Amino acid sequence: MTALRERMITDLRIRNYSPRTIECYIGCVAAFARHFSTSPAALGPEQIRTYQAFLLETKHASWAVFNQTVCALRFLYGTTLGQPGLIEQIPFPRQPKQLPVVLSREELARFFAAIPNEKHRTVLMTMYAAGLRLSEALALQVADVDSARQCVRVAQGKGQKDRYTLLPPTLLGQLRTYWRAVRPTAWLFPGQQPGTPLTATVIQRRCAPAAREAKLTKRVTTHTMRHCFATHLLEAGTDLRTIQQLLGHGSLQTTAVYLHVATPGQGRTDTDLLARTLASR
């Protein structure tokens, strides 16, 4: 490990960045250094601009990857290398505004039915019924499912914040069926290696084949489950502030995007979304 890499990791840890963010930032900086075969300490604004153009025009990187790189380089130069003046020369791009993809309840039911593996199907059902990110679902411990209080504890979600979200009866029933089949002890969704959770890639790779099997024309990803959770709650009459808290959004403006895709007046105001979805099959 180079001295610069070690120092950046230390700076990130001191500021309580999550392990996942640290890994991402270090990876972005390492890719930047490999591109020029030079330490970032010897590079400056011209190389940064050239690399940004390379990401967009040659590598065709997604906006998420591009923004992660910008964040990583701004931290590297502004904090670790102590060059705050350089930050202004590493701008964030203007991203195209795209509305989230949302499935109808009938489409979701077909999607779930197209996933034969009980564990994988339960992960995606949990993401939908509780509004979880994939990383949050895979980080769940058995003890996080509080059946007495009918809630799920999300420990150190995005932004390293704890929160509680919904545990509707239908999801609890699905989790009990799954538990009897798998018998997890610590991690709710254990991986193949003892003592480790299921990896994100395993679930991500299930979405496209299941969507094809269900004959869906929409592009379905793991995050689609969360979009459906928010939109269906909004359509059922749940207020935006409550949805914001359940999703763990820092800003109400982030949650407000679902106002543009929801169709009001879709029926009952109960929060057992999974029950209504499965009933639509």
206 tagged catalytic: no
pLDDT at 16: 87
pLDDT at 112: 97
Residue 155 DSSP SS3: coil
Q: What are phi and psi of 197, to 5 degrees?
A: -80, 165
Q: Is 27 left (phi over 0), alpha (psi -120 to 50) or beta?
A: alpha
229 to each of 108, 232, 262, how far by Cα in Å?
11, 5, 11
Choice among 226, 227, 232, 276 that is catalytic: 226
Residue ranges of domains in the chain, CATH in brackets: 3-89 (1.10.150.130), 105-279 (1.10.443.10)
Q: What is the largest distance, in Å, between two alpha-carbon atoms of the chain? A: 61
258 tagged catalytic: yes
Letter for the amino acid at 37?
S
Q: Which helix (H) or strand (E) holds 15?
A: none
Structure tokens, 161: 């914040």
pLDDT at 250: 85
pLDDT at 135: 92
Helix residue ranges, H only, the chain: 3-14, 19-36, 45-53, 63-75, 105-113, 118-130, 134-138, 169-182, 200-213, 222-235, 240-247, 252-255, 273-279
Low-confidence ranges of the chain (pLDDT < 50): none
Residue 95 CB coordination number (10 Å)? 10
Choice among 74, 119, 133, 276 that is catalytic: 133
Condensed to tens digits (0 to 9), the pLDDT of residues 240-276 reads 999 999 999 888 888 988 888 888 665 556 678 888 8
43 with 36: CB under 8 angstroms?
yes
Say which residue the tokens 């059922």 belong to. 236
**pTM of structure:** 0.75
pLDDT at 157: 67
pLDDT at 195: 87
158 tagged catalytic: yes
Burial class (CB in 10 A: 0-12, 13-18, 19+), 265: exposed
pLDDT at 268: 59
Structure tokens, 194: 């003892």
226 tagged catalytic: yes
pLDDT at 103: 95
Condensed to tens digits (0 to 9), the pLDDT of residues 8-47 reads 999 999 998 888 889 999 999 999 999 999 999 999 999 9
